[in-house]
A = this chain, B = another copy of it.
Amino acid sequence: MPQFRTVFLIASSFITSQVCAQDAPPALAPEPLGIIETLPAQYPENWFIVHDASFFHMSDGKVYILDVTAKTLGEQFKGMFNSSLIGNLAQSPARGEIYSTETFHTRGQRGDRIDLLTIWDSATLSPVGEVMLPKGKRFMGIPQRNAVTLINDGKWLAIANFSPATSATIVDLDSREILSEVGTPGCVMTYPTGPRGFSALCPDGRFFSTQLAEDGSVAQQERSEVFFDSDTTPIFDRAATIDGIAYFPSFAGLIHPVDLRGAVASVGEAWPMATGEEAAENWAPSGVAIIDKDDLGRFYLLMHSGAADGTHGGGGPEVWVFDPATKSRVQRIALQSWGLSIAVSRGSEPLLLVTNPEAMSLEVYDARSGEFQQTITGFGQETPLLATGAQ
């Protein structure tokens, strides 16, 4: 890189051919300038993608790539990229890409607005493409696993819109162009559904499922049966999906299994997370990222007791692990400190990552034994509230 001649010009004038005692070891060799590190296109199973929307500085949101088993910060911190104004993320290991919705203004916090999908190369953490999104529509809120999702075998991206009119923008990842905007009147988010579609969650307590044609146009739209009352028996819009079945927790502590394998979401019979004494103690989910799953077929919920109106967002002191096959809790993990968000890594040796709201540190647990491993902090985090097991 010719520009590096500058620094040599400056520095070389201060440098001498060495003169030193016989017994001294040889001098360090001059080192090359301009070298940039890279990462593997597919990430190891013990890495996480940690989205810090920086709620005190939202135009400077940060996405960290962390190895949570490494023992030093230098080994833990693999890299980062920015995501502006509470973006939402999705990763495609097959394409070696990470997708991020972003919003910019020409004068930082003011001026003309643009909304973008930025495509990041997983290995170089450089932007390799962008798709201009319809202005002022993309869902912007507490970061969410189901606001930007891969559908159609990972060929397309479904981006949830909320303006507050609701729809979804369908992006083709080969051409990096918008195929269509699908209306989902009153219903939000994009839960992948069927061979080539998604479902959105509606205020009247059911799903609105869409199947798309090969050109991205609407092939079929149908509502599921009503299964909750958004006033009296609300559910969270966050779910763990295992083998095509999405498990939606309710504010009151029920699990609603929803089969998303067919063209239309099909809701199964709900079952309770807490029974007996625990039910009497009003144990229920609470927090930001309250649910995740592992590759062993289990899902995880961040839980608090004494659930009441308004307590569903404050986090909790325990993580409960469930086996959907037996509809039973297989593990109860008492956290070292309060948890506000959880995430679980991929693979056969899952790790549980918990965001501790007091220090905004990340606490690592063995997801099978529940054993505490270590705390990760000091990486410049502000509000790292949505982590995802890397792939």
Residues on A facing B (Cβ under 8 Å): 54, 56-60, 82, 84, 102, 104, 106-110, 116, 118, 127, 380, 382
Q: A108's contact among B56, B102, B110, B382, by CB below 8 Å, is which?
A: B102
Minimum CB distance partner of A104 in chain B: B108
Task: A56-B382, A82-B109 are known; give 6 further A-B pairs, CB within 8 A.
Answer: A54-B57, A57-B57, A59-B108, A82-B108, A82-B110, A107-B116
* Distance from A23 Cβ to chain B, minimum over Cβ atoms (Å): 29
Roughly how many angstroms separate A181 CA and B45 CA in the complex, as a whole number? 56
- Note all chain B residues with C-beta closer than 8 A to A107: 84, 102, 104, 116, 118, 127
- Note all chain B residues with C-beta closer than 8 A to A60: 57-60, 108-109
Q: Which of A84, A108, A116, A380 has the most CB of B within 10 A?
A: A108
- Note all chain B residues with C-beta closer than 8 A to A59: 59-60, 108
Across the interface, do A106 and B104 meet the contact criterion of CB distance under 8 Å? yes
Minimum CB distance partner of A109 in chain B: B82
Roughly how many angstroms separate A380 CA and B108 CA in the complex, as a whole number? 18
Roughly how many angstroms separate A58 CA and B108 CA in the complex, as a whole number? 11
* Interchain residue pairs with CB less than 8 A apart (15): A56-B382, A57-B60, A57-B382, A58-B60, A59-B59, A59-B108, A60-B109, A82-B108, A82-B109, A82-B110, A84-B108, A104-B106, A106-B106, A107-B118, A107-B127
Minimum CB distance partner of A60 in chain B: B57
Roughly how many angstroms separate A118 CA and B118 CA in the complex, as a whole number? 29
- Note all chain B residues with C-beta closer than 8 A to A57: 54, 56-57, 60, 382
* Distance from A64 Cβ to chain B, minimum over Cβ atoms (Å): 13
Minimum CB distance partner of A127 in chain B: B110
Roughly how many angstroms separate A82 CA and B111 CA in the complex, as a whole number? 13
- Note all chain B residues with C-beta closer than 8 A to A82: 108-110
Minimum CB distance partner of A111 in chain B: B104
- Note all chain B residues with C-beta closer than 8 A to A127: 107, 110
Roughly how many angstroms separate A60 CA and B104 CA in the complex, as a whole number? 12
* Distance from A382 Cβ to chain B, minimum over Cβ atoms (Å): 7
Roughly how many angstroms separate A268 CA and B79 CA in the complex, as a whole number? 52
Roughly how many angstroms separate A54 CA and B380 CA in the complex, as a whole number? 12
* Distance from A125 Cβ to chain B, minimum over Cβ atoms (Å): 12
* Distance from A53 Cβ to chain B, minimum over Cβ atoms (Å): 12
Roughly how many angstroms separate A116 CA and B110 CA in the complex, as a whole number? 14
Minimum CB distance partner of A108 in chain B: B84
Roughly how many angstroms separate A108 CA and B54 CA in the complex, as a whole number? 14
Roughly how many angstroms separate A127 CA and B108 CA in the complex, as a whole number? 13
- Note all chain B residues with C-beta closer than 8 A to A102: 107-108
- Note all chain B residues with C-beta closer than 8 A to A116: 107
Q: Which of A57, A58, A106 has the most CB of B within 10 A?
A: A57
- Note all chain B residues with C-beta closer than 8 A to A54: 57
- Note all chain B residues with C-beta closer than 8 A to A108: 59-60, 82, 84, 102, 104
